[in-house]
Chains A and B, each alone.
Chain A
């Protein structure tokens, strides 16, 4: 078999029917361009959702899970296989949401490898009073420098600044939508009441927006000591420890280790954001199904054109065979045409796909202040382009193979007799 000769024949065939070649090529181009755009955009959306979830939530959170269900004392004292205890209406025990030795835990975890940052928090349910209006929310006492390292709070600020929390012990930073509901601006005062009756008046020093409704709507930040003061607790009272890891994927295992070591309840980001992860999986499947369909459609286009091509060239195939070209040579001639179409169309598709993705990534996208997006989220990754070209080539080779096989089986005698 002489490949360069087959290539020469294939090239001549393709160039002789330029328009038909172009149409076949554009089928592949369109399929691959759409594949690239779809996958880049979908992955961009996934990435954005994952980032916004991960940015606003800790990788591992240590807290005290308040649970009113507990084993009765009777079960602890009187138990055995031959008896059964029934206790009605067991009264919940007074439980503190505090983490025992929280501050010591923070400094210990900070020393552990792979930990990016640890931040202690005191959080409580709270009511915000502005005149007769009461709005419920959550007040979080934070150590500003530490919390800022975890969540990059400074970048979330809309008005005022978080830094003022350090200077002003009675300062508070409100979620942007919460501030709007309360109709307060930087410099105004808000009155905060806890469920246990503590009350304090704080001055607004800033507003922030994470782009997540459930955060911006209810959350506000102040210093740890202020919240401890409203709750009437001592300076070691900590309710939450937030941990960020260098690698988010390690958080799951790390959380379990911590849970064992300190005998506390831990939660990692994947359990906290299961809906987002499930959505991501579904979108991935969808992307692949749609992309595959596009490529298969392009493949059928090529199959049709190659089939027609073979039928138009019956006479030529007969001549080639009569002059000593074998079945393999004929397969090579037509398969090479399919591969050239697939490769040229595929490369053009990559370029066009990149172009559309790029345009999409710079087109403005208005979402209001709920979501922190200015343009469509698009990711650019070499893998997608390699994958696109590979899929494109595989479909064209498959689509070209069957007509080529048919061509190689043609009986020259039947054609030459006329």
Chain B
């Protein structure tokens, strides 16, 4: 199927500290292009662990992971970094901007790393993404001077800069008040429906999850509903 962008099959993952413990047990699912997917479940059910495996940053698992039609399991760290750079965008719970850089620099960095466009074009694109999240007026500000909600919006702009296939969020609204949460949700909604980029988020927020296209519910390392 050409519009399947992510396929995870038979994912098993163990923690070895303090003793051997199976966090994920035979997880199988697929995600379609343009889908807005939320993964929910209680704390400790393994949903964040699953997200980090999907994000390619955690490579210590069993099973098979395919994205955009290429197999990612077993690739070297540097190849995975290049893949993340081009095809994945991340939004974390705690904003995670580089404090010493300006808002604009934060957004531009992944694109400069990719090196597909000239610095001028990258700057124009960065402004475009900042406009999307309504942060273009803050472009020249030091990122550490922004409020939490503002930082999260900048982080979304950064995730979007390389037009990735998939955007992943780890509790993207976990630290935000209702107004900011709604703002972030609206942006995600827009990205998925208008740009047809896939969104996978791990969330505790039931309203946020309900607004998406599909919910995967996890419990004790297994998918209990919503898996396909």
Contact = CB atoms under 8 A, between A and B. Distances in A.
Contact of A12 (B96, B100, B158): B100
Interface in A298-332: 315-316, 318-329
Interface in B61-109: 77-78, 81-86, 88, 90, 92-94, 96-101, 105, 109
Interface of A is mostly: helix
A5 interface: yes
B70 to A, nearest CB: 16
A322 to B, nearest CB: 5
Contacts of A319: 96-98
A165 to B, nearest CB: 80
B98 A413 contact: no
A417 B93 CA distance: 9
Contacts of B57: 321-322, 411-413, 416
Contacts of A13: 100
A327 B77 contact: yes
B156 to A, nearest CB: 13
Interface string A1-18: 010010011001100100
Interface residues of B, number: 33
A174 B91 CA distance: 93
Contacts of A322: 55, 57, 84, 90, 92
B41 interface: no
Interface size class of A (residues with CB under 8 A): 20 to 34
A417 B113 contact: no
> Which of A5, A16, A322, A411 counts the most B-chain CB atoms under 10 A from its CB?
A322
Contacts of A92: none
Interface string B106-122: 00011011110000000
A131 interface: no
A324 B85 contact: yes
Contacts of A195: none
Contacts of B99: 316
Given A323-B110, A323-B158, A418 B94 contact: yes
Interface string A399-414: 0000000000001110
B100 A16 contact: yes
A5 B108 CA distance: 11
Nearest to B159: A323
A416 B180 CA distance: 21
Interface of B: 48, 52, 55, 57-58, 77-78, 81-86, 88, 90, 92-94, 96-101, 105, 109-110, 112-115, 158, 170
Interface of A: 2, 5, 8-9, 12-13, 16, 315-316, 318-329, 411-413, 416-418
